[in-house]
Structure 1
Amino acid sequence: MSNLGGLSVIFDLDGTLVDSEPNYYEATRETLAEHGVPDFTWSQHERFVGISTQETLALLKERYGLKAPVEELLAETNSRYLALARAATHAYPEMRKFVELLAAEGVPMAVASGSSPEAIEAILTGTGLDAVLRTVVSADEVARGKPAPDVFLEAARRLGAAPADCVVLEDAAPGAAAAHAAGMRCIAIPYVTAQADAPEFATAGLLLRGGQTEFSARAVYDWLT
């Protein structure tokens, strides 16, 4: 029997399991440049970490007065992102170790992400994490994205787990808020460490203020037990 009892673990994908934000930034930057915005910077992109691509593009369309429909911008960005994701996506080594620890214990796990189903599949397949992370929920499959709890609640439903028995790993404030709204404990690993004081992270059961540099698979496993 697992040392973690009836616990289930739900992972955010981008910025939590894998460092995909550089790919999202590049895909968004290229799309904006194509539509007449040539100077979109990484610091501007950081403000949208944890928000779905569709919501991000809707906000950017309004900010820059873009004429193209959001659906067109989304299709272009997703196409660029998928190409980048398939070419190279880096899984955080300690996160991979953590997934392997949980898999060895038979702990039910899921991925709940704001990315599209195609992007999630490309990343999990490319990193080999699809071998153990088979339950996947995209925000495209639920009514509301983070910070609403829908994607986490659907992941729990598919795992057959009560929300109170789930722990979420998240890198972004909207995701931490979604976990709290779902009635789940949260381990927060801020991707943008300067945002560690965001009020949403205050609800986390465990906050690693230094982000991935502080994440240790064994230490977090021991914390759960």
Structure 2
Amino acid sequence: MSTFGTTAVIFDLDGTLVDSEPNYFEASRALLAEHTGRPYTWADNERYVGISSHETLAVWRTEYGIAAPVAELIAELDRRYLTLARAGTPVYPEMRKLVERLHDAGVPMAVASGSSRAAIAAILTGTGLDAWLTAFVSAEEVERGKPAPDVFLAAAELLGAAPADCVVFEDAAPGAAAAHAAGMRCVAVPYVAAHATDPSFAEADLLFPRGHDEFTAEAALALL
């Protein structure tokens, strides 16, 4: 058992551990340009932060009148995204420090993300986070995406941890809501500062309203 007792930690990936949103934005922009010819702005992209690719693309099919099936669109988005992600995806320094400290303390950890398994694996490998984070659950393995608790409950089961012993690190309101629904504690580090006042974040056990600009590993460890 770790020095943190029975505590287990579950990390969201995109926007929480790594700043992958610029790559997702560019991949999405290119995909929509090809299928619809319509522009896609960063403000448009912020609407989908924290929502799984499957759910986002299902909305786009209706909203933009795209004929291609969701499965085909996901494969295309992943191809575009992975090309960019492999070229460079920065890890938030304080998050890397936190992961290393938790690993050294023997705390069970997992990643629970709305991305595909291929995307999660590529990011963890490309950033070197796979040295400490070997367990992960993707949106492909659960019935419902965030804000449903499915992906976090699956991660807890993978770690052999009780939901009440789990602490979730999240950057998006749907993820914070999912953590609460799972009966887990939550550390919220909003990727979009304007979303910090979302009611879902109000339920977090620790909130950093200015996101990664103020997040520190030490503050998170003090909660744990």
Q: TM-score, normalised by structure 1?
A: 0.97
Query: What residue in structure 1 maps to residue 178 of structure 2?
Result: 178
SS in 2 for 1:169: strand
Calculate the aligned-residue CA RMSD, in Å: 1.0
Query: What residue in structure 2 maps to residue 81 of structure 1?
Result: 81
Aligned residues between the structures: 224
Q: How far 1:75 sits from its partner (Å)?
A: 1.5
Aligned counterparts, 1:105-184, within 5 A = 105-184=105-184
- Aligned-partner residue type, residue 22 of structure 2: P
Q: 1:167 & 1:63 partners in 2: Cα distance?
A: 35
Matched, 1:187 2:187: yes
Query: What residue in structure 1 maps to residue 9 of structure 2?
Result: 9
Matched, 1:95 2:100: no
Q: 2:74 & 2:104 partners in 1: Cα distance?
A: 38
Q: How far 1:2 sits from its partner (Å)?
A: 3.5
Query: What residue in structure 2 maps to residue 210 of structure 1?
Result: 210
- Aligned-partner residue type, residue 213 of structure 2: T
The 8 Å contact of residues 124 and 130 in structure 2, kept in 1 or not, is answered as yes
User: Where does the alignment leave 5 or more consecutive residues of structure 1 unmatched?
Assistant: none
Q: 1:149 & 1:199 partners in 2: Cα distance?
A: 17
- Aligned-partner residue type, residue 16 of structure 1: T
- Deviation track 1:52-102 (CA, whole Å, cap 9, x = no partner) reads 111111111211112222222221111101111111111000000000110
Q: How far 1:37 sits from its partner (Å)?
A: 2.9
Query: What residue in structure 1 maps to residue 57 of structure 2?
Result: 57
- Aligned-partner residue type, residue 108 of structure 2: P
User: Where does the alignment leave 5 or more consecutive residues of structure 2 unmatched?
Assistant: none
Query: What residue in structure 2 maps to residue 197 of structure 1?
Result: 197
Query: What residue in structure 2 maps to residue 72 of structure 1?
Result: 72
Q: 1:142 & 1:70 partners in 2: Cα distance?
A: 16
Q: TM-score, normalised by structure 2?
A: 0.97
Q: How far 1:194 sits from its partner (Å)?
A: 0.2
Q: 1:114 & 1:52 partners in 2: Cα distance?
A: 4
Q: 1:71 & 1:217 partners in 2: Cα distance?
A: 38
Q: 1:144 & 1:215 partners in 2: Cα distance?
A: 29
Q: 2:162 & 2:113 partners in 1: Cα distance?
A: 19
- Aligned-partner residue type, residue 60 of structure 2: L
- Deviation track 1:87-133 (CA, whole Å, cap 9, x = no partner) reads 11110000000001101100000000000000000000000000110
Q: 1:147 & 1:41 partners in 2: Cα distance?
A: 24
SS in 1 for 2:148: coil
Query: What residue in structure 2 maps to residue 33 of structure 1?
Result: 33
- Shifted more, 105-114 versus 78-87: the winner is 78-87
**Identity of counterpart residues, as a percentage?**
67
